[in-house]
Amino acid sequence: MVGAALIAIIFVSPWAAVLVLSIVLILQGLIYGDGGITALGANIVNMGLIGGFVGFYGYKFLKGIGKVPAIFIAAWAATFLASIVCAIELSIAGTFPLVAGVTSMALYHAVIGVIEAVITVVVIMGIGRARPDLLPDWVSSRKQEAVE
């Protein structure tokens, strides 16, 4: 679970995802040695910036097809595209070969993205049940129905 799409959709801003992921990745690198300090910039760009923007604009352009499928695809695409960009960066750094690296990362994250998508949908639906007033208009089904 990365959560960038989730945050970008709930806060109606891709930058919210950059802020939250920055905090998470800094603490994760400093305390747990996961992700690390030298890769911090790349991690924030990939998971925060790309994850947040793909999640935000993916949902924005897809929400016409229905909110749940739009959230699902946006969260999946955020994970999938971030992994491809990560593989390209690793090939520029000379760590991964380009084609094999992108293929391998894309295949693994096509599956991981499904888990990310399911959790993203479940969390947004859960907030919608517990505190519908916290959801913004573009995901809140309650306000939408009232207008219709």
- The smaller minimum CB distance to another protein, of residues 59 and 96, is found at 96
Tokens, residue 30: 């400093």
Residues 52-111 within binding reach of another protein (CB under 8 A)? 83, 86-87, 95-97, 100-101, 104-105, 108-109
Our finding on whether 129 is near another protein (CB under 8 A) is no
Which region, judged by CB under 8 A, interacts with another protein, from 10-18, 22-30, 59-67, 139-147? 22-30
Our finding on whether 145 is near another protein (CB under 8 A) is no
Interface residue with another protein among 129, 131, 145, 146 (CB under 8 A) is 131
Site for another protein, rule CB under 8 A: 20, 23-24, 27-34, 36-38, 83, 86-87, 95-97, 100-101, 104-105, 108-109, 112, 130-131, 134
